[in-house]
């Protein structure tokens, strides 16, 4: 009897111990995140403490220097060597005479330079940034480093030309090679345009959220799901101004949204590679918020012990769309002077390094391998109870329409090599900004008659001069086309003209 009791007790203990050792039945789980920082995953090979007025250290990744720019008179003068310009014109543009007699000399010089560098094609009257192929390649310095952050997108270790920090070969990140030495995207956590983009996102321009779910262990699940998308809810900050944790955000599933299968190993989430990956794209103005539209995209997310996450989003972007997003966030001239970059050079760098999504008809590479870096804070990502859409800022819709119109014109121009004019409603060529800043300048008439600018129907021009950029048309498709103007002094650039592609000379 005593022996039977001992055997029974041992059996009960064994069952209890087994229950303790065996995992409990897996239950569905979900973790949400709000993206706190979002930027190109460019590496920085320079010294963090480097300081020199007006310069950024080239660093080990940019041995040939940084981007060409127009922030001083010497650089601007060097860029204006087109055959149709006289030496007197070039010198006068670089150092405008009589600047000390205007109320805002720095602003006036800025607008003169802006207008001049906007027209650098092989002949007068062709706007440079809408038609970059019609200008000579200024030569963007490119990344020389062999190390890059990104993915092996084509599953070929012999392509891509980069090695990851962990030693993986065949990393495809051609955008880094093309633009990694462009000054405003360079820095050790303080690149100008990265800071601006994150500041605007955190300030309410748009919100990106991620939701990871599964049915096993959240740190190890071979059948997980990742959702990434837009939220109509603005990012919430804490008292220190940092992105706050544990707030709720709705996720929009109708656009800027993708659902992917994933596997999780030791807290590292790896998604499948999908034909199309949609999510919000980097933006710092309302005019170019929208869908990032990545082809052959995938996501890697690392969940930290503190619950925060960091990761990469990679795939192929349409390089023409990338060009327009950066160039026309303001206008090409402003970007060239204020941001220290030359978009004609950046255009050629993109074209030269395009490495994916070939056009089935022509074989041209339409995509460029790209990787974005994100950090994210824990949040509750929930489905909306009622239908909701992307936030529309009615007051800025005209400006957004202007961007969409100039983007379409630029893509059409670069695909067909047919000169396109500048649609109304933009600030390209410093129009009408220059007209408003030359009062009191003795050389006013010289610059207004010598320098090219966009020309439109007289009624459109009158409306632009009266009301300013982007404020006259709600629908760009309804904008009346400029009438031909035979006067040689007033060049009509809006009439498409087939010209030679100087990039093939």
Which of 15-19, 72-76, 242-246 bottoms out in mean pLDDT, i.e. has the lowest?
Answer: 15-19
- For residue range 283-295, list pLDDT tens digits in order: 999 999 999 999 9
Cα–Cα dist 422/410, whole Å:
9
Q: In whole angstroms, what separates CA 375 from the centre of its chain?
A: 17
Task: Report whether 297 contacts 274 (CB < 8 A).
Answer: yes
Q: How confident is the model at residue 194 (pLDDT cuts 50, 70, 90)?
A: very high
Cα–Cα dist 105/441, whole Å:
9
Task: Report whether pLDDT(385) > 60.
Answer: yes
- For residue range 416-425, list pLDDT tens digits in order: 999 999 998 8
Residue that is written with structure tokens 């093939």 in the block: 504
Q: What is the DSSP string of 274-297?
A: EEEE--B---SSGGG-SB--EEEE
Q: How confident is the model at residue 73 (pLDDT cuts 50, 70, 90)?
A: very high
Cα–Cα dist 119/125, whole Å:
7
Class of residue 163 by CB neighbours under 10 A (exposed 0-12, middle 13-18, buried 19+): middle
pLDDT score, position 56: 61
Say whether 318 sits in a helix, a strand or coil.
Answer: strand
CA angle 188, 308, 198 (to 5 degrees): 45
Cα–Cα dist 170/161, whole Å:
6
Q: What percent of the chain has pLDDT over 70?
A: 85
pLDDT score, position 27: 87
- For residue range 123-144, list pLDDT tens digits in order: 999 999 999 999 999 999 999 9
pLDDT score, position 54: 55
Which of 244-253, 446-455, 466-475 bottoms out in mean pLDDT, i.e. has the lowest?
Answer: 466-475
Cα–Cα dist 18/294, whole Å:
49
Task: Report whether pLDDT(207) > 70.
Answer: yes
Which is higher by pLDDT, 477 or 395?
395
Mean pLDDT score of the chain? 87
Say whether 90 sits in a helix, a strand or coil.
Answer: helix
Both tokens of 181, joined, read 């030495």
The residues near 164 (Cβ < 8 Å, ≥ 6 apart) are 147, 148, 149, 150, 171
Task: Report whether 62 contacts 146 (CB < 8 A).
Answer: no
Which of 11-15, 246-250, 256-260 bottoms out in mean pLDDT, i.e. has the lowest?
Answer: 11-15
Task: Report whether pLDDT(6) > 90.
Answer: no
The most distant pair of C-alpha atoms in the chain lies apart, rounded to whole Å, by: 119
Mean pLDDT along residues 63-69:
82
pLDDT score, position 480: 44
Q: What percent of the chain has pLDDT over 90?
A: 72
Mean pLDDT along residues 82-106:
94
The residues near 362 (Cβ < 8 Å, ≥ 6 apart) are none
Task: Name the CA radius of gyration of the chain, rounded.
Answer: 27
Closest CA to 33 of 321, 246, 349, 340: 246
What Å distances lie between residue 102 and 94, 99, 105, 149, 432, CA to CA?
A: 17, 6, 6, 49, 17
Task: Report whether pLDDT(386) > 70.
Answer: yes
Q: 205: left (phi > 0), else alpha (psi -120 to 50), else beta?
A: alpha
Cα–Cα dist 61/42, whole Å:
10
pLDDT score, position 57: 65
pLDDT score, position 1: 41
CA angle 175, 180, 183 (to 5 degrees): 135
Cα–Cα dist 457/485, whole Å:
9
Residue that is written with structure tokens 């993708």 in the block: 258
Work out the end-to-end distance of the chain between its first and last CA atoms, rounded to an integer number of angstroms: 103
pLDDT score, position 489: 36
Helices 319-327 + 343-353 axis angle, to 10: 170
pLDDT score, position 52: 60
Task: Report whether 499 contacts 419 (CB < 8 A).
Answer: yes
Q: Does pTM top 0.85 for this prediction?
A: yes
pLDDT score, position 107: 94
- For residue range 140-178, list pLDDT tens digits in order: 999 999 999 999 999 999 999 999 999 999 999 999 999
Instruction: Tally the C-alpha atoms within 13 A of residue 60's C-alpha that lie toward its C-beta.
Output: 9
Please name the helix (run of DSSP H) or strand (run of DSSP E) that holds residue 472, with its range, or none: none
pLDDT score, position 462: 82
């Amino acid at each position: 009897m005593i022996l039977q009791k001992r055997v029974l007790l041992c059996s009960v203990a064994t069952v209890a111990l087994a229950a303790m050792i065996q995992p409990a039945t897996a239950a569905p789980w979900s973790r949400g995140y709000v993206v706190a920082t979002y930027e190109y995953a460019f590496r920085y090979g320079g010294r963090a403490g480097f300081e020199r007025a007006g310069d950024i250290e080239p660093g080990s990744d940019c041995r040939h220097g940084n981007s060409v720019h127009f922030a001083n008179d010497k650089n601007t003068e060097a860029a204006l060597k087109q055959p149709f310009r006289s030496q007197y014109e070039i010198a006068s543009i670089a150092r405008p005479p009589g600047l000390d007699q205007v109320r805002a000399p720095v602003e006036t010089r800025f607008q003169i330079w802006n207008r001049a560098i906007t027209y650098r094609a092989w002949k007068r009257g062709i706007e440079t940034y809408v038609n970059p192929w019609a200008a000579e390649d200024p030569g963007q310095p490119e990344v020389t480093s062999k190390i890059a952050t990104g993915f092996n997108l084509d599953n070929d270790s012999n392509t891509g030309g980069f090695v990851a920090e962990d030693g993986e070969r065949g990393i495809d990140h051609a955008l880094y090679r093309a633009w990694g030495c462009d000054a405003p995207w360079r820095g050790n956590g303080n690149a100008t345009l990265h800071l601006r983009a994150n500041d605007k996102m955190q300030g309410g321009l748009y919100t990106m959220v991620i939701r990871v779910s599964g049915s096993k262990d959240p740190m190890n699940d071979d059948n997980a799901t990742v959702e990434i998308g837009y939220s109509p809810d603005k990012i919430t900050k804490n008292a220190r101004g940092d992105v706050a944790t544990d707030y709720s955000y709705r996720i929009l599933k109708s656009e800027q949204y993708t659902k992917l299968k994933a596997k999780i190993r030791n807290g590292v989430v790896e998604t499948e590679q999908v034909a199309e990956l949609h999510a919000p794209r980097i933006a710092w103005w309302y005019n170019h918020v929208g869908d990032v539209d990545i082809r052959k995209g995938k996501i890697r997310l690392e969940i930290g012990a503190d619950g925060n996450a960091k990761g990469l989003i990679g795939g192929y972007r349409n390089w023409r769309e990338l060009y327009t997003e950066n160039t026309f966030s303001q206008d090409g001239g402003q970007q060239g002077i204020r941001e220290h970059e030359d978009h004609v050079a950046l255009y050629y760098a993109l074209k030269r390094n395009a490495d994916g999504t070939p056009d089935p008809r022509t074989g041209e590479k339409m995509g460029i391998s790209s990787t974005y870096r994100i950090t994210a804070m824990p949040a509750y990502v929930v489905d909306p109870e009622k239908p909701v859409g992307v936030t529309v800022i009615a007051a800025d819709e005209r400006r957004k329409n202007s961007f969409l119109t100039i983007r379409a014109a630029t893509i059409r121009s670069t695909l067909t090599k047919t000169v396109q004019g500048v649609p109304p409603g933009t600030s390209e060529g410093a129009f009408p900004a220059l007209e408003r800043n030359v009062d009191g300048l003795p050389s006013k008439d010289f610059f207004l008659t010598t320098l090219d600018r966009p020309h439109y129907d007289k009624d459109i021009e009158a409306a632009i001069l009266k009301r300013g950029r982007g404020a006259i048309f709600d629908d760009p498709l309804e904008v009346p086309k400029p009438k031909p103007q035979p006067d040689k002094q007033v060049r009509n650039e809006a009439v498409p003209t087939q010209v030679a592609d100087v990039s093939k000379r």
